[in-house]
Amino acid sequence: MTATPMRGSFDEALGIWIWAAPPQERAPRLALFLDRDGVIIEDPGYLCRATDLRLIEGAAGVIAEANRRGIPVVEVTNQAGIGRGYYGWDDFVAVEEALTQLLARESASVDAVFACPYHREGIAPWVHPEHPARKPRPGMLLAAERLLGLDLGRSWIVGDRLGDLQAGYHAGLRGGLHVLTGAGVRSRAAVNEWKPENFEVRLGDSIRDAVGLIR
Ligand SMILES: [Mg+2]
């Protein structure tokens, strides 16, 4: 499998960095939204070097399974490290390209990447008290709906933080899977206390458990 070259760009109006493969069909489809750090890859904190990239076990398998089933896989990642000035878009893109290569080795690929750099403690131009694209707000998921033609009401999100699931809730997804990788162990209690209406919360160990969402 050849990895698609990544030519993302920052959408000024949305405040989101976006890369997307050409959509394969136009009928609204259920999507699998994935947080990146702590879900697809290990999260050492503000990851910005491709050499630090480590896939979480099972991630490539789940993504490949979604690919086989024609289910779009959409990465939605808060990148406060850019907002805080710790690293830049070139570093981010290098990590994404390395991730694309790692996944391609296991015949897996993501269909789109959405990244939000804004943070309330960010530096100009990325400082924003509560940017609509930063999870737990739903901006990235809503942009994906429009761009990729998704059926959000049938879609799922996988995350290691409560904010990932809350972004899914605010976007009107069917539900979310909380995993124990990344920040998952310390956020599990908050997830358990959260009782959203019309949003199914599932608990798992890792992204591997997302297979149950797409079968
Ligand atoms: Mg995370």
Taking only the tens place, the pLDDT of each residue in 14-34 is 999 999 987 666 678 999 999
Query: How far apart, in whole angstroms, are the C-alpha atoms of residue 87 and residue 101?
Result: 21
158 CA to centre of ligand 1 in angstroms:
9
Query: How far apart, in whole angstroms, are the C-alpha atoms of residue 123 and residue 107?
Result: 38
What is the pLDDT, as a whole number, of residue 25?
66
The predicted model gives 201-205 an average pLDDT of: 98
The percentage of residues in the chain with a pLDDT greater than 70, rounded to a whole number, is 95
56 CA to centre of ligand 1 in angstroms:
12
CATH of domain 16-214: 3.40.50.1000
183 CA to centre of ligand 1 in angstroms:
7
Whether 37 sits among the annotated catalytic residues: the reply is yes
Catalytic pick among 37, 111, 160, 164:
37
The predicted model gives 200-209 an average pLDDT of: 98
3-state secondary structure of 207: helix
The angle at the Cα of 169, spanning 153 to 196, to the nearest 5 degrees, equals 115
What global pTM score does this model have? 0.94
Which pLDDT band holds residue 38 (cuts at 50, 70, 90)?
very high
141 CA to centre of ligand 1 in angstroms:
15
| Annotated domain spans of the chain | 16-214
Strand partners, 92: none
36 CA to centre of ligand 1 in angstroms:
6
Catalytic pick among 11, 35, 52, 91:
35
